[in-house]
Structure 1
């Protein structure tokens, strides 16, 4: 079998963060081969960084069992799917003046580092369809999670007329096809979350039509209980923030607060991070700190790759897919 990426990585990635990348990738592969399942969590702007190009294949090949992501990552993969040609890349973004930033705003271009998301083609194109789905559920007295509404929209085919990338490069389409479990903590902190809140304020929708973060924790608890037998569930964290902090807490919640016995710890842990430990941020905490919070066991394989997730995650995933 031709393994150009994994062979390159094993030959040249020998020390420091690069060596940790290899160890983490091998640990991920070993975890799956032993029958374990894996959660991937995504903070930052990974969907706008087009991580879907490789994450979609990870999903299709059953290399990930559940995803936790921010509301932004949930929607921005779909935005890229329907509006890619309208995105604007600005390599010289560090040199922009406040006036130039204002001009981007006036042109309805919302900047994420070097990439501008087009408001009309991305936000509004999705909005007109997702609002109909929300309203239909609201009228019927039905309630769903944020990702379930997105799945309904993707499966309905209403967005196909707008597709501007190869559908196989959309991780949300791959997830919808697999009906992959997704947890979206803090979904309100997203464009679609803001739009939903605005509709509630206007009286168009009831807040209860959207299932809540507490219900997501209950949903995750049930999933973890059903899937943590045998080798258990691993935790692969891309960046920091709520997408990682929220789901990892399900383990101590079950055995400390619910007082359930025999709750398995997360059985693998890796984080790609650029956060600094000494600043006191949870995102920058080394894995051992999670032992003190009852999230990881003493013997849980632990890795932290201090680097750029847009570089590291595709390399790790490529390695896994070649195994």
Structure 2
């Protein structure tokens, strides 16, 4: 038989006491188990290394299941997550754990009419009391009335301030393991929300507006700050990585940083260097959640030269993230924390300076001896 490409599959019985690393390396041999193995190796060997700025998008009900505390916070503490885009719902439910409230593993087949009568909330097979929502709302509204919140701001600053208060409550209550929001505050990891009105946090912001609150969450600030982070990634560290848990609006907000840089601001077209996604969405329905890295190349979101190293694993993120976290914590040395939150203004200043300089340049470029009409980013205008 001719020599084939790939590694020979040599099945061996799984033994008791096998480690997560050995399980993934030796027994995740094909299909999406193999994609998960490839993702673990790419993350540990190339992405979670010096010289890479790592952005993570988070969608789906991950924090109610505890993964904010158990998986994402440890990745932040080890310097593996530099900035994030999250749904507001994930950050809201994350706070339940910081406040000491109890959530329970239940069943997806409970009687929801009866649950409503009993004052119980269900997120598939997670259940908790309705009072958890009410008390979390009350905490958030009280915090948001503080003077630091009485202004226009982006969601990174908003979450940083909220995380500060959440961390103080954790200390008062003696919470042993910090939630995602509090950990991001401590380690200077900016967290953005692409749709700030689409969660209970946003609902409470809106309620306070009816009372005269001056808090305004400005999405333009977020678009510019996230683009500045992506723009500065190659200048300060060398490469940019997009690690996507689920899909939806957070995925797009993370990836749109590159079209914002070249399509809208007219700066250099390059795209993210790494793309790793865990999703259960199909690409053939046309939705962003299932869109592949190859499709993202056509938008300039992904560097085409890096396409061979992109990975999409079709699996539930709640299966992937604990396995990935256990694997990389075992295989990687912790990285220095970048504290991008503290560098936001400097990064934004660089982006603005380069944008204004590019905006004033003539829309032509030299190709051989001819001047070819082009867009501000340098892409030729085809007639």
Q: Distance in 2 between matches of 1:74 and 1:6?
A: 30
Computed over aligned residues only, the root mean square deviation of the Cα atoms, in angstroms, reads: 2.3
- Out of 44, 57, 62, the position equivalent to 1:46 is 62
Q: How far apart are residue 297 of structure 1 and its match?
A: 1.7
2:195 equivalent to 1:186: yes
- Out of 216, 223, 234, the position equivalent to 2:222 is 216
Q: How far apart are residue 77 of structure 1 and its match?
A: 1.1
Which structure has the larger Rg over C-alpha atoms? 2
Task: Summarize deviations over 1:2-40 as a string: whole Å, max 9, x none.
Answer: 992112210101111111111111111212335212111
2:165 equivalent to 1:153: yes
Change (3 A) 1:8 1:144: same
TM-score by length of 1: 0.87
Ranges in structure 1 where 5+ consecutive residues have no aligned partner: none
2:81 equivalent to 1:69: no
Higher relative contact order (CA 8 A, sep 6+): 1
Q: In 2, are the aligned partners of 1:109 and 1:117 still within 8 Å (CA)? A: yes
- Out of 234, 237, 256, the position equivalent to 1:249 is 256
Q: How far apart are residue 137 of structure 1 and its match?
A: 2.7
Q: In 1, are the aligned partners of 2:152 and 2:217 still within 8 Å (CA)? A: no
- Out of 141, 164, 179, the position equivalent to 1:131 is 141
The count of residues paired between Structure 1 and Structure 2 equals 308
Q: How far apart are residue 299 of structure 1 and its match?
A: 2.3
- Out of 320, 338, 349, the position equivalent to 1:312 is 320
- Out of 269, 275, 298, the position equivalent to 1:269 is 275
Q: Distance in 2 between matches of 1:116 and 1:272?
A: 25
Partner of 2:295: 289
Change (3 A) 1:266 1:3: farther
Q: How far apart are residue 233 of structure 1 and its match?
A: 1.2
Task: Summarize deviations over 1:76-104 as a string: whole Å, max 9, x none.
Answer: 1111332443x24322x23x4xxx31232
2:122 equivalent to 1:111: yes
Change (3 A) 1:158 1:81: closer
Q: Distance in 2 between matches of 1:259 and 1:279?
A: 31
Q: Distance in 1 between matches of 2:81 and 2:241?
A: 10
2:337 equivalent to 1:321: no
Ranges in structure 2 where 5+ consecutive residues have no aligned partner: 1-16, 332-383
Q: How far apart are residue 134 of structure 1 and its match?
A: 1.9
Partner of 2:30: 15
